[in-house]
Chains A and B, each alone.
Chain A
Amino acid sequence: MLSLDLAVNAVVAGLLLGGFYAAVTIGVTISFGMLDIVNIAHPAFIMLGSFVAYFVNSSFGIDPILIGVVMAPVFFLVGMAVYQIYFYAFEQRGEESIQGLAFFFGLLFVGEVALILVFGVDYRFVEAPYIGPALHFGMIDLPLRMLIPCLVSLLMLAVLQLFLGRTFIGRAILAVSQDRLALQLMAANPTRIKRIAFGISIATASVAGALLIIIQPVEPSIGRDYIGRIFAICVLGGMTSFPGMLAGAMLIGIVESITATFYGPSWAPAVAFGFLLLTLAIRPAGILGR
């Protein structure tokens, strides 16, 4: 039987989950959607963010979100370095297709195995005051463990949206995604802009990783579950726009949450990926695409 109580809570939980998915996907929207770099290793960077948060939190007891934000500049530098390698090895030679894809695939795998070698395959979690309690509004439950990551994620989205729209570098990043040659004619260096943009996309993984380990215990190989989900959201949202991406994230979050509530959590992944397969087959431009 469908009970109203369960259904409403499933939708609310889905919205919170979707908000969090936006944080996970935003990096890929920048790298894949705007820069045309198929960074399928993004989940590995998110895992790295989670484990950094876990390590610092369990050693010094610092708030995980704060760790994610403080570590973002380090991730930014790592991202710039990865882009530099990618640029010299593939973009410059014009071999971006299978080899470039395999490069990131290898990176994903190496990241996962390296984390397993260092931390083992046990589930790790962080401690923070907001993990546990929940707000209650009538029949709606809002666990802080979900609410806070969702809010932080939306905040990050808003900041990046402002950055892209209002600053010179932000506008240059949008320009790279629209017309690379035209940007060159305006005397801006597309490679430098792309390097910065890719750095930003990896920096978001630091925050997203911290949020992930607040929501659920983490072990190195769960990053894989996010590959399909991230690209599903990215494609659903029409690749380049943040609002579209947020809509896609909310949609996947709600569908997964309803499926988990009424059919059991083991079916949830198939639904999201089934969505992706159908979108790709029927409407590759995404729900908000042209």
Chain B
Amino acid sequence: MRTASFWIVSFVVAAAVLALSRGLIANEYFFFAGYVVLQYIVLSTAWNILGGYTGYTNFGVGAFFAVGAYSSVVLHKLTSVPVPVMILAGGLVSGVLGFGMGYLTLRLKGVFFAIATLALAIVAQTLIVNWDYVGGSRGIYVIRPQQAPLLGSYIQYLYSLMLVLAWIAVAIARTIERSRLGLGFNAIRDDEAAAEAGGVPTLRLKLISTTLSGALMGMSGAPLPYYVTYLDPASSFNLSYAVNSVAMPLIGGMTSWAGPVIGAVLLGTIQQLATVTISSALNLLIVGLLLIAFVIIAPNGIVGLVQARARLR
């Protein structure tokens, strides 16, 4: 499928999901849960642009996500701009953070890059903890506007925004996959030195990858203050965002845009069900165990399993 038609087809799919869910489902809880699953589609797709295509493992997902959320808090306190503007602002701030991280870690490969991103997350968290304007370690309450700008409740509005964001993220990922940019990313992943020698501008591509990945993560975090209405550093910088964003592409498959989407829908749904029916601690245990099981048994994820079967036939 060509890139332009993928944008159109995915738009139609997203619009159909939106129309069907909002038209048919009356239960508010569906939108609460659906928001989280969609948020993970954006997060894991964003992670995969850097992790899957370019081969750099980012464990600092929480930093980009929370920085997006906290930039919304600042905007909320200063102005009264609508949420889509906040999403753009969050993307901008986290994109700059991603660019900075890429610049600071240009010489780092593999493991050292992963450790540096973990360190970055903790530095960012410490800064937020010590910044009283956004609530510091006490956290901050964010009052939702009483009325949603569109029809329906405020949660349905946030759900719709996140759906649009998921569509854009997936379409961007797929566009990259089939472009020269994606080929360059893959070249870096497979052999950075050889790519450099072959004339691939590795430095510039790496910066594009970290910036784009960071920006998308920030955008997915930006509506969070309105979703939870109470934001604190411990929960917004939570390691579980990183675990999920790493686990979902790994379980789905890292080589194509479909992997993170499959992983996010599967794991996200299982977690939502487990949280409601069993306990929220147990659902994290499930993610961890699934992650371990998949990297041992099926290192190329579900997409890899399907491709291997197709090849056998």
For chain B, residues 103 to 122, give those with C-beta under 8 angstroms from any C-beta of chain A.
104-105, 107-108, 110-112, 114-116, 118-120, 122
Inter-chain CA distance A114–B284, complex, in Å, is: 10
Inter-chain CA distance A16–B295, complex, in Å, is: 40
Residues of A within 8 A of B107 (CB): 281, 284
A232 at the A/B interface (Cβ < 8 Å)? yes
Known pairs A97-B110, A107-B292; A113 contacts B115 (CB<8 A):
no
A184 at the A/B interface (Cβ < 8 Å)? no
A105 at the A/B interface (Cβ < 8 Å)? yes
Contact yes or no, B123 A274, CB < 8 A: yes
Inter-chain CA distance A114–B129, complex, in Å, is: 27
State which size class the interface on A falls in: 35 or more
CB distance from A256 to the nearest CB of B (A): 12
State which size class the interface on B falls in: 35 or more
Inter-chain CA distance A288–B110, complex, in Å, is: 22
Taking CB as reference atom, which chain B residue is nearest A281?
B104
For chain B, residues 121 to 168, give those with C-beta under 8 angstroms from any C-beta of chain A.
122-123, 125-127, 129-130, 137
Inter-chain CA distance A290–B74, complex, in Å, is: 45
A56 at the A/B interface (Cβ < 8 Å)? no
Taking CB as reference atom, which chain A residue is nearest B297?
A89
Contact yes or no, B108 A228, CB < 8 A: no
Residues of B within 8 A of A232 (CB): 119
CB distance from A57 to the nearest CB of B (A): 25
Residues of B within 8 A of A228 (CB): 115, 118-119, 122
B259 at the A/B interface (Cβ < 8 Å)? no
Residues of A within 8 A of B130 (CB): 264, 266-267
Contact yes or no, A99 B118, CB < 8 A: no
Taking CB as reference atom, which chain B residue is nearest A278?
B104
Residues of A within 8 A of B242 (CB): 105
Contact yes or no, A280 B299, CB < 8 A: no
B200 at the A/B interface (Cβ < 8 Å)? no
What are the 8 tightest A-B residue pairs by CB atom distance, in nearest-first order? A270-B126, A110-B288, A106-B291, A273-B119, A109-B288, A106-B292, A89-B296, A99-B295
For the A-B complex with A103-B292, A105-B59 known, give 18 more contacts whose Cβ atoms are closer than 8 Å.
A38-B111, A98-B254, A100-B295, A101-B111, A102-B247, A106-B247, A109-B243, A109-B287, A114-B285, A227-B118, A232-B119, A269-B126, A270-B123, A270-B126, A273-B122, A273-B126, A281-B105, A284-B112
